Amino acid sequence: MIPGFHEVAHEGLDDYAVLLQNGASLEPSALEEITAVLARFPSQLLYADSREGGELIRRPAFSPLRLREQDYLGPLRVYLRAALDLDPSLLTEVVHVPRVLSSTTTATVAAEPADPPSGVPERRTDGTRRVRYPVQGEPLVSVIIPTRGGAATIDGTDRVLVVEAVRAIVERSSYRAFELLVVADDETPQAVIDELVAVGGDQLRLIRWSDTFNFSAKVNRGAAFASGEYLLLLNDDVDPVSPDWIETMLGLAQQPGVGMVGALLLFEDGTVQHGGHLYRDSWAGHIALGWSVNRDDRLGSMRVTREVSGVTAACALLTADLFRRIGGLSSVFASNYNDVDLSLKVRSTGASVVWTPDARLYHFESKTRDAAVAPSEIAALRQRWGSRLLTDPYWSD
Amino acid sequence: MSDDKNGAWVGPESTLPADELAARERQLALVDRVFGLEAQLAELSAQNSLTPSERLRTEQRLIEMQGSLAWRLGRAATAPLRVAQRFVVRARAR
């Protein structure tokens, strides 16, 4: 029995234990709804949205890595009795009911998650729990950076973006087994190339791009040259904040069932640029776009590693094998949505996409950037993935 | 530092034989094409490809939409048309 919970008597659900947080109450039709859902979808665990102190708390679809850091299941859990003593993060048949089935007058008491089967639990500075997954072995990571050698003024200083990105990786990243594949347009200034060679040293490989612009094809060109076991797709306008960003992402990517890993990206002013992708109402955007880095949702989603619908290709790590098995980035999407398509391709293999706040980078994209979206790109995205873009299983606010 | 006559950069460039590079890129494009077609096929039977949680969420969104003021106003505004259509269908069936 979970501390702070009691079992509710019920009829017709003999194989299941209906556990309710002490002090919580079931909605009048809750048991009927639970019975109906389990009749349609027999599961090892069922949980639902709730009302806490009058506030509606929507919960994400089953997120096992998140569950290792944060008990987000709420005041009502219906367990198959045979699964009651198992680590919930290891269950395979879990259903979330997106309806309010229970209420409490106070916030749910979150249970301390069980020790994870892999990884080392520790406390973040804000008191939340982090599970750190040590990297197995020392696999080579191929960092693919498409560029045309552009410059920008950051924090009052003019800088060539790709040079500073490469410098930051070389000088400040604690993980050392990487190669840098810079795919540079023909038009890249010669001075930028020379500086890249000086900064990147032996770890740099320069690859020429002479064709018309196609972001996806440029990344695929880099992947064609990559010799690493893992590919790290990276924009040229990023700057890592966390020295251990590569091993944080790599450790997560090595977990069973994980397909691709993304990071917390911040605008130059420190507000959030990317907290994972959000797919809703046939559209794709970024979670927490423009939020203060201290802002959060009701569940505290920005402070934990969690499953998401997708992540931006501005910083995404996956195995080279998976990248090749799913056909890389689709050149149908020359400018936009190539990462949305990539994420959905990853998930269509049954693997998950994970975002972590523990790998943090600046992304010097303009806050007011209004990317020109070709109608053909959005049409192609909807044609491929229409039903996947209607509601987001992992983000409800 | 010197630009070549076309203005393209020069440097220690990684290269692959042209046919090998083309084959690798073509392989990615072909696999992507297959994935795209499979995804479109799955869209035609979307109900079967959604997880239980996704199906429940989609059903809930439908319930919420049908309970919205905009939906009810729309239904009310188009009610005369639907009644008229029913008459037309019955008249044609006679």
pLDDT of residue B45: 74
Q: Which pLDDT belongs to residue B30?
A: 95
Q: Would an 8 Å CB–CB cutoff place A201 in contact with chain B?
A: no
Whether B41 and chain A come into contact, CB under 8 Å, resolves to no
Residues of chain B in contact with residue A342, where contact means CB-CB under 8 angstroms, are none
Q: How far apart, in whole angstroms, are the C-alpha atoms of residue A317 and residue A354?
A: 10
Contacts with B, A 45-104, CB within 8 Å: 61-62, 94-99
A62, A191, A390: residue with CB nearest B1: A191
pLDDT at B22: 95
**Taking 70 as the threshold, does the pLDDT of residue B1 lie above it?**
no
Whether B28 and B57 share a structural domain: no
Evaluate if residue B40 carries a pLDDT over 60: yes
Tens-digit pLDDT string for chain A (397 aa): 788 899 998 887 889 999 999 999 999 999 999 999 999 999 999 999 999 988 999 999 999 999 999 999 999 999 999 999 899 999 999 999 999 999 998 776 667 777 788 889 998 877 789 999 999 999 999 999 999 999 999 988 999 999 999 999 999 999 999 999 999 999 999 999 999 999 999 999 999 999 999 999 999 999 999 999 999 999 999 999 999 999 999 999 999 999 999 999 999 999 999 999 999 988 899 999 999 999 999 999 999 999 999 999 999 999 999 999 999 999 999 999 999 999 999 999 999 999 999 999 999 986 555 566 778 889 999 999 988 898 899 997 6
Q: Identify whether residues B45 and B56 lie together within a single domain.
A: no
A180 CA: distance to closest CA in chain B (Å): 12
Joined tokens for residue A207: 């690859």
> Do the Cβ atoms of B25 and A225 come within 8 Å?
no
Whether residues A324 and B28 touch (CB distance < 8 A) is answered with: yes
- A309, A331, A332: which is closest to A260 by C-alpha? A309
Give burial (CB, 10 Å; 0-12/13-18/19+) of A27: middle
Query: Are residues B63 and B42 part of one domain?
Result: no
Interface of A with B in 113-132 (CB under 8 A): none
Residue B29 and residue A95: Cβ atoms within 8 Å?
Answer: no
Q: Which of residues 285-314 of A touch B (CB under 8 A)?
A: none
Smallest CA-to-CA distance from A165 within A238, A82, A83, A265 is with A238
How many other C-beta atoms are found inside a 10 Å radius of the C-beta of residue B2? 5
- Asked if A189's CB is within 8 angstroms of B36's CB, the reply is no
Q: Is A159 helix (H, G, I), strand (E, B) or coil?
A: strand
B62 to chain A, closest Cα gap in Å: 11
Tell whether B38 and B65 lie within a shared domain: no
The number of distinct structural domains making up chain B is 2
Nearest-angstrom CA–CA distance, A87 and A77: 14
What pLDDT sits at residue A369? 54
Q: How far is A98 from chain B (nearest CA, A)?
A: 6
Per-residue HEC secondary structure of A223-274 comes to HHHCCCCEEEEECCCEEECCCCHHHHHHHHHCCCCEEEEEEEEECCCCCEEE
Cβ contact, residue pair B51, A190, below 8 Å = no
Q: How many CB atoms lie within 10 A of CB A186?
A: 14
Q: What is the pLDDT of residue A258?
A: 98
pLDDT value of residue B2? 42
Residue B74 has pLDDT above 60, yes or no: yes
Give the residue from A73, A233, A340, A388 with the most B CB atoms within 10 Å of its CB, the best one to mutate.
Answer: A388
Residue to mutate among A384, A396, A397, with most B CBs inside 10 A, is A384
The alpha-carbon gap from B92 to the nearest alpha carbon of chain A, in Å, equals 37
B38, B60: one domain: no
Distance between CA A117 and CA A114 in Å, rounded? 9
B63 and B39 share one domain: no
Q: Is B31 on the interface with A (CB under 8 A)?
A: yes
Residues B29 and B69 in one domain: no
CA A270 → CA A102, A115, A128, A366, B76, distances in Å? 38, 33, 21, 12, 48
pLDDT per position as a tens digit, B5-38: 467 999 999 999 999 999 999 999 999 999 999 9
Task: Examine the domain organization and report whether B38 and B57 are in the same domain.
Answer: no
CA A2 – CA A84 distance, rounded (Å)? 9
B44 and B7 inside one domain:
yes
Distance between CA atoms of A212 and A218, rounded to whole angstroms? 10
Residues B44 and B16 in one domain: yes
CB A103 within 8 A of CB A51: yes
Q: Is B14 on the interface with A (CB under 8 A)?
A: yes
CB A181 within 8 A of CB A222: yes
**Parent domain of B21:** 1-49
The complex scores an ipTM of: 0.81
B33 and B56, same domain (yes or no): no
B88 touches A at CB < 8 Å: no
pTM of the model: 0.89
Instruction: Judge if B31 and B56 occupy the same domain.
Output: no
Q: Name which of A333, A346, A323, A343 is nearest A373 in CA terms.
A: A333
Predicted local distance difference test score (pLDDT) of residue A367: 57
Note whether A345 contacts B35, CB cutoff 8 Å.
yes
